[in-house]
Amino acid sequence: MPNIPLKPNNELFTDTQWQAIFDGGDNILVSASAGSGKTTVLVRRVIEKLKLGSHVDRLLIVTFTEAAANEMKERIQVALQDAINAESDEQKRAHFSQQLMNLPTSHISTLHSFCLSVIRKYYYLIDLDPNFRLLSDETEQTLLMDEALENVINRHYENEDASFYQFVQQFANDRSDEGMLRLILDLYRFSRANDNPDKWLNHMVESYQPVEALEDYPIFNEYTKPYILSLLADMIKYLEQALTMIEYTSLEKVEQLLKDDIAMIQAPIESLKQNQLTQAFEQIQNMKFARYTTVKKDHADYDQAQLAKSYREMAKELLGNAQKSWPTDPELTLELIAKSQEIIKIAVSLTKEFMVEFSQLKQQKSVLDFNDLEHFALAILRHEVDGVSIASDYYRQTFDEVLVDEYQDVNRLQETIISYVRKAENPGNMFMVGDVKQSIYAFRQADPTLFIEKYTQFAHDEGGRRIILAENFRSRKEVLDFTNLIFEQLMDQKVGQIEYDEAAQLKFGFTAFPSSEDFHTELLIYEKQAELDDDMADEFGIDDKTQGEFHVITNKIQELIEQKFQIYDKKQKKFRDITYGDCVILSSTRKNHLHLLDIFAQKNIPVQLADAQNYFQATEVQTILAVLKIIDNPLQDIPFVAVLRSPIVGLNEKQLAQIRINSKKERFYDAFLENLSISSGYQEKITHFYQQLLKWRNLAKRDSLENLLWTIYQDTGFLDFVGGMPSGVQRQMNLLSFISRAKSYEQSSFKGLYQFIRFIQMMQEKEHDLAKPVSEIKENAVQIMTIHQSKGLEFPVCFVVDLAKKFNQQDFKNSYILEEKLGMGTKFLDEQEIQYPTLPYLVINQLKKQKSFSEEMRKLYVALTRAEQKLYLVGTVKDKESMLKEWQKAAMQENTVLSPMLRLNADTFINWIGYCLIRHESFAKEVDESIATAMTIQHPAKFGIHFYQADQLVAPEQNSSESLAETSQQETANHQALDEYIQQMTKAYDYPLSTKTASYQSVSELKRLYEDPDEEKLNKLVWQNRWQQETQGYRKTSNELAMPRFMQEVKITGAEIGSATHKLLQLIDVTQPITPDSLHQLAQRLKENQILDEKLVSKIPYQHILWFFQSTLGQRVIQNAQSLKREVPFAMLKEANEIFQDFDEKESHMLVHGVVDGYFIENEQIILFDFKTDYFKNNIEETAKERYYGQLKLYSQALSQALQLPVSERKLVLLTHQKILDF
């Protein structure tokens, strides 16, 4: 291979990695399996190019996410710095330094960011106003799209267009126009994923062009006919296998039956080949298998007869598929196509109208969305002046190489954009990296066939070269063996879209893992037990339908922690105890994440939730939504009663019933008003609430939604209330996020409470959800995320859960279906309101199902390959018997790869996995030794299968009679003790002074006790006068309370900047290079997780933080990363008379608490440091020491007492002044 240097003997890269680093002179496609080190290879390739004299700004590196782009820059920065340090040649050092300087402005970004830079540079070529802003807020975009769509639809309703009403009838229903509106939006999104949306839409109309004969219809010839022929051929194969099963038996009648079946199937095959379509249709639709010959159980060949029958059943299933794929005769098929063309024309016309309307609304507001970036950039690149494309030529001359990461997730539009910036002639200069087995973004219009086409073509060196990275350096061999076992049987071109052959299989790369018997994959299966009634479910505390397997997971995690399961630490190169942070839970969707969160809270297991679905279904959010609804209109019974029943008012069911009994008014609100004047136990509650409601309704008319919500939270204390519930911090974040959403809504020029409620309802109806805000970043917590969110990550212990969740097949039931190449398939609704599927609908439906199931299969591959060391697969089945019955469908399969029919008929991960395990040689030992299979899979994979039922997970309550007896005894004891309690409570207290001071003091409140650094003993506070004794008591406090957030001014305070700076210093990873980019990236993550306010991100003094880590102390912090602790809370008891001078009560203690910014241990001594962002006008050192001496003294005492080590150094870091003071 040209230009590839000889690999040194000490080089750790594999041969194929080495080739991927150095191969060039043509287009290169690198198929990089999971854990194969593709990012490392990509970075090294860039560095090697720079070493040869190339410049970083002459490379275009396209990544899938901004995070990936930032990581790429950071890695290149580190590699360049290393190259500078290692290079002795001054000229080369200068070259590397120049590249380091150019790195921040280099073209390493997402494609959207690159497109934005193209537009900023060449906007004038397409007469685009450069004063636009990016429409990055989903709320504003959704509202604009809805407004545009409403405008288009209303115009057509007003025009009373008959053809439009026919279109409405086809896709709307008697309740709403939602189906029709969804179709237009779907067509818009599909069309915009192509480089020419109008052309794609027009092609849809052409595909319904009437023809005289079915054999002239392209879709029938290219798809339907070959598909039916393949089904019929597979039926014959199954029947021939059945004949093989009885070849040496005396089952003559069975043999003749099977031969008759084959002859019956041969007939339509011949008819189709001769284009006798009417005859072929009738033969297929009338085809019926005769009843199977009865063979008694005592017959010598009974088992063979049953095997033959199982193959015949498979053939019968395929017949059903063939009949469904062509349900109408040729004449009616053509008639439906012709009638549907007018419907398709209207759909295309409305979509184009919407496209124009939406574009005009965006133009009026001077905004562009992400899709606009791609289309405008492409328009610029295509624009020619005198036959020359100025922009395209510029970029083709600028870039020596175009590198695309995650190439499997590129769509056709993006591919076209890239084609205008890469070299147009051969040999090419494209370097594409990806893994089609991990293409899981079809919902973003990703097109894995682009990768597959090159993968196949480049295998023969046609147009480029293919390199395969198969070695996995992430996972233990046990994980890889199990993954290979599954996908060798599941994945091929028909389902999965790529062959899982020897080249695609995962190879064990990280050989440093010590051998152990503890790391085989385990299936944890929860049996629902259909007989488990509601009472039993209550007894065991398990919702049998959804939560059983969640208890399985939490029990297993607790077991691993308690038993100190050993994890191999790659960095320390030794085994260590497992921690919660080693575990991750992966699921297909976010649907059950909130349930998981509650169960983890019950078990006291720390958990970090990436986000969750059903944000609007969270109890606290639903409650506030109900409040807003009745502020807008209190005559709505359901939300009004919901608020009365909620903690905001607190009425119980009996009181609600009493309100209804007391009034004959129809609406509950009117009944409520009548009850205001009726004396009752709840009169005070409802009167108070009525006054609040009037106040809120008045406020809603004149103030913002943001202020309205803050007022509700303040008046009701609801924000504080939910903080005391399970997962309280998360619930508070949900309510704060709701305020942010309301603020964002109003900032997008949409106003009014009614419109906001309508917007939320629209989001709910469309099943669009808000991402659940992350409350905090936890270092040692179980991670919960979706499979999509986990892509690119790795975890020591991985639980893949909810394996019995059925694949989403709703798209296959709709009245229309869309596909990238064929366009739109539709059902036709006739005058009798009978729906007929058109031929394009049937073809696209089948193609989409194969693509959808292929993507589900790739999702499973991504999930399994996240595990480094231990893999758990968790699912729920009805019971063991029904599970095995389903899995035994695979037992008679004779080929390694399971039949497409079996794989496409399965609708859950757990069945796919079960099909692959049942033929493994160890399955019978693990589950059922009576299992018979047609072939046994010999494979090194090892696994265990464990079954759980409700009574094994949670111990039931005590016997009820025993509980009643205990309760009675307890009540007696309570009565006897009551008098003693009363006497104790009325007795004069022995320590009256202690009631006048708080027993809980913060360091910040006490720091002025230590103003004199030379005074070794604690100074003591003196009572100033008798009035202060009685009112303020013995507590040092701030004079003012912080104002509520909704009353604070917009201006950012120094304290807020200081808090944000401290947060960054707490969370920065000191084991990684600390650069301006890494600091900004961390701040952005904190902003996205709503930990930092957006306005604060730009105010953080990043240069001061960098100064600290470049200082001597900062370098010591980095060197002692293992013992480094940050933001460490402490509490210690101190005698009260140490604090207050004339406090003479003995044995009175105060709990002093605080948070130490940081410390590390060096030579068995504590080095304490504290950050301050204060600005001192004069006498910096003297003033700082006076102000903070006492605080550091208390910190020293607390740390020394807790760690039993001396504090040798106390450092005060003045970030603003870039000084470090010793105390």
Of 468, 467, 502, 503, the C-alpha closest to 1 is: 467
Closest CA to 881 of 493, 525, 560, 1176: 525
In terms of C-beta distances under 8 Å and separation of at least 24 residues, what long-range contacts does 1113-1117 make, across chains too? 1113/1169, 1113/1211, 1113/1213, 1113/1220, 1116/1160, 1116/1162, 1116/1167, 1117/1070, 1117/1158, 1117/1160, 1117/1169
> 1128 in helix, strand or coil?
strand
> Can you read off the two tokens belonging to residue 758?
């309508």
127 Ramachandran zone, left/alpha/beta (phi>0; psi -120 to 50): left
β-bridge pairing 471-472 and 59-63: unpaired
DSSP assignment letter at 1021: B
Instruction: Specify the DSSP class assigned to residue 14.
Output: -
36 is in an annotated binding site: yes
- Phi first, then psi: give them for residue 149, nearest 5 degrees: -65, -40
Transcribe 937-964 into DSSP letters. B--S--EEEEEE-HHHHSPPPPPHHHHH
- The CA radius of gyration of the chain, in Å to the nearest whole number, is 35
Return d(Cα 1221, Cα 558) in angstroms, integer.
Answer: 46
If DSSP codes are grouped into helix, strand and coil, which group holds residue 972?
helix
β-bridge pairing 823-829 and 835-837: antiparallel
Residue 33 counted as an annotated binding residue: yes
Q: Is 34 annotated as a binding residue?
A: yes
DSSP secondary structure of 211-272: -SSGGG-HHIIIIIHHHHHHHHHHHHHHHHHHHHHTTTSS-HHHHHHHHHHHHHHHHHHHHH
Residue 104 and residue 102: Cα distance in Å, rounded? 6
Whether 355 and 201 have beta carbons less than 8 Å apart is answered as no
Element holding 514 (H helix, E strand): none
Q: In angstroms, rounded to a whole number, what is the distance separating the alpha carbons of residues 1150 and 1000?
A: 6
Residues 6+ apart with CB under 8 A from 669: 630, 634, 635, 637, 640
Terminal Cα distance for the chain, rounded: 65
Q: How far, in Å, are 222, 301, 377, 445, 839 from residue 843 at the CA level?
A: 10, 42, 35, 19, 6
Q: How many other C-beta atoms can be found within 10 angstroms of the C-beta atom of residue 1188?
A: 23
- Cα separation, 272 vs 270, in Å, equals 5
Residues 630, 639 contacting (CB under 8 angstroms): yes
Look-up of token digits 């539009």: 413
Q: Is 459 annotated as a binding residue?
A: no
The verdict on whether residue 626 carries a ligand-binding annotation is: no
Report how far residue 942's alpha carbon sits from residue 922's, in angstroms, rounded to the nearest whole number. 8
Long-range contacts of 657-662 (CB under 8 A, 24+ apart): 658/682, 659/686
∠ Cα 826 832 833 (to 5°): 40
Compute the Cα dihedral for 531, 533, 538, 539 and give only its sign: negative
User: Does the annotation flag 965 for ligand binding?
Assistant: no
Residues 649 and 634: their CA atoms lie apart, in Å, by 15
Is 727 annotated as contributing to ligand binding?
no
How far is residue 802's CA from residue 908's CA, in Å, rounded to a whole number?
9
Instruction: Establish whether 25 is an annotated binding residue.
Output: no
Q: Please tell me the chain's helix, strand, coil percentages from 3-state DSSP, rounded to the nearest 5.
A: 55, 15, 35
Task: List, in sequence order, the alpha helices (H) in 782-908.
Answer: 787-790, 839-864, 880-887, 900-905
CA-wise closest residue to 291 among 265, 268, 316, 317: 316
| Binding site per annotation, positions for ATP | 32-39
| Binding site per annotation, positions | 32-39
